[in-house]
Amino acid sequence: MYYGEIKNYDIANGSGVRVTLFVSGCTNHCEGCFQPQTWDFHFGSEFTRETEDELLEMLSPPYINGLTLLGGEPFEPENQRVLLPFLRRVKEKYPGKNVWVFSGFTYEELHTEGSHCRCEFTDEMLSLADVLVDGRFVLAKKDISLRFRGSSNQRIIDLRRTRAEGRLTLWE
């Protein structure tokens, strides 16, 4: 897997101060995407064990609320293969920090057998995430006043509450 950028002290991609990883590779190709260069699965730098260690170190200060994954597309199957072991490390080392994942795929697509994004890693990856911002960016529904999303069709899903309540629950 490759990544395009790492942001430390990010306040735009989730609640609080965060460490953000922009992964490379996306098959959604949304019109008006703010980072079309990340559609290329080989854009940027290779994601290595050293990259993981660097991110874990960035997460260490107590004022860092958590990790955000976006892209590109974290739920492309080839990205899930690499991100899942990393998320396990994050949750093991920092159980009190939250994980946000931005995906062009919807919550429903991630749970539908046979959909492009669903693979053997999807359920566990979702289980390690606390919030999912889902849905493709739709240029005709672009709204810059929305918090943590680019278009009005996208949802911010509280995955912890969704799991606890057994029904899709939006983040407040």
The CATH number that applies at residue 114 is 3.20.20.70
66 falls within a domain: yes
Positive or negative, the CA dihedral 78, 161, 22, 46 is negative
What pLDDT is stored for residue 44 in this prediction?
Answer: 98
Is the pLDDT confidence value at 34 over 90?
no
Is the pLDDT confidence value at 46 over 90?
yes
DSSP tag of 113: T
Q: Please give the residue range of the domain that contains residue 24.
A: 2-165
Is the pLDDT confidence value at 53 over 90?
yes
Residue found by looking up tokens 């960016």 in the block: 137
pLDDT tens digits, 57-90: 999 999 999 999 999 999 999 999 999 999 999 9
Q: Considering its fold, how many domains does the chain have in total?
A: 1
What pLDDT is stored for residue 157 in this prediction?
Answer: 98
Is the pLDDT confidence value at 19 over 90?
yes
| 3-state helix, strand and coil shares in percent for the chain, rounded to the nearest 5 | 30, 25, 45
Q: Write down the pTM of the prediction.
A: 0.96
Position 116 confidence tier, pLDDT thresholds 50, 70, 90: very high
16 falls within a domain: yes
What is the rounded average pLDDT of the residues 1-8? 97
Position 104 confidence tier, pLDDT thresholds 50, 70, 90: very high
What pLDDT is stored for residue 146 in this prediction?
Answer: 94
37 falls within a domain: yes
What pLDDT is stored for residue 90 in this prediction?
Answer: 98
171 falls within a domain: no
Do residues 26 and 39 lie in contact, with contact meaning Cβ atoms separated by under 8 Å?
yes
Of all residues in the chain, the percent with pLDDT exceeding 90 is 97
99 falls within a domain: yes
Whole-number Å distance between alpha carbons of 127 and 122: 9
Q: Which of 31, 50, 36 is nearest to 4 (CA)?
A: 36
Amino acid at 75: F
35 falls within a domain: yes
What is the rounded average pLDDT of the residues 139-158? 96
Position 30 confidence tier, pLDDT thresholds 50, 70, 90: very high
170 falls within a domain: no
45 falls within a domain: yes
